[in-house]
Structure 1
Amino acid sequence: MTTNGTRELLASLQLADSAFPSGFYTLSHGLEGFAQAKAVDADSLPALLEDLLRHGIGPSDATALALAHRAASAGDTDLLVAVEQRLFASKLSGEQRVASTRTGRQLLDLAREVYGGTALDEYARLLAARRVPGCQPVVAGIAYAAAGVATERAVVSDLFAVAASFVGAALRLRLTDHRVAQVLLHRAGPVIEEVAADALVRDLADLGGCVPMVDVMAGRHERAEARLFAT
């Protein structure tokens, strides 16, 4: 592996690491709502994760990340703004919008410190001017580009980070144990590969997922008397 390849791999590992303080640890990606409704158990966890990746995260967040990465690399500010506006509009629940922008702004602040670069600084100016709300997938796309990570690896890395975050939430909600969690993550590998391939060729007009039950559970979760996670 070349030096540049090694650096790209290291950067992708760092950004996808659960120890990277992007705020993912505060999210269950809808899982807590399902758990509160007793609509998920250890046996149905894999199917829920796969559906979330295929029909939710893939068409929305992963697609936005891929488009934002290309826009940042090309210096296309108009496309960047359009991607973010469409992504933000596709998030139907208030807690999903708040969580995405909160983690996005946290990621932006840290990425500027760690990686620097004109693209991140330009995005910060767009955010300060309120032209963009600061959604995490868009910021992630710019951060991966700034770190020299190619689009495909960036999308795959972030999808894995989401899957790992989901599994981590399942552990904290006592829906699984550490050994089974690793089996679940491994099983998600082919789905991540499939979802990433689709996200890489999807156009802006096709950005947006559709998982109605996740939206229903998000609405219930917003009104829950006690919550462990932000989503």
Structure 2
Amino acid sequence: MAVVLRYVDKLGFVKERFVGLVHVMETNTLSLKAAIDKLFACHSLSIGRVRGQGYDGASNMSIKLVKLIDEALKSYQLEGFDSLLEDVTSFCDKYDIEVVDMEAEYVDPKYQRKKTGITNRHHYVVNNFNTILDMQIQEHGNRFNEVNTILLTSMSSLSPSCNFSAFSKVNLLMLAEMYPCDFDEKERLVYELGHYITNVKEDKRFANLSGLGDLAKMMVKTR
């Protein structure tokens, strides 16, 4: 596992620094956190000061990509078998391979004399095609669970693109709830977020910014 830190320096410039490589036996959350903790300790760093996973203007694209993949997998599960069957049939015809009759009764190779009561199509759709797609959808959901999706959505709300069109006070309050040690006064934060968005939208210096890096530099420059 490669570990890279992304941070904003005193001048507001976004920096990225390679910290090191860590060998991990497992990729579950606890194992990864323990490995990162150990690496950080070697450099006198604290994982408690890390915020998120290095999001920038690309977070909007990441959210759209996650949703598109999820929708594509579910759509393919509902409608993709026939197109797959056409491709397989075309391949078999090209190389003179016998094609299974999808409407014939499925014969279990382990119990060939026993009636299954289902067609080949039912077997390949339900027991194979849908099962594999279910596994892929579940794996995708595990990788982009609710917490990760909230992080992506919340961080994208800070994007200054298109005059802060993605700004969402609700999303940023959800993000703040993940860091209670840093944001312990919700009412004050609600007020400050409202004050912040009003100021940056009215200040021409904040117009035409393209990402969090540009926003960080401008905030340092105008503080």
TM-score range, shorter chain: under 0.3
- TM-score (normalizing by structure 2): 0.26
- TM-score (normalizing by structure 1): 0.25
Structure with greater helix percent:
1
Structure with greater strand percent:
2
Higher RCO (C-alpha under 8 Å, 6+ residues apart): 1
Structure with max Cα Rg: 2
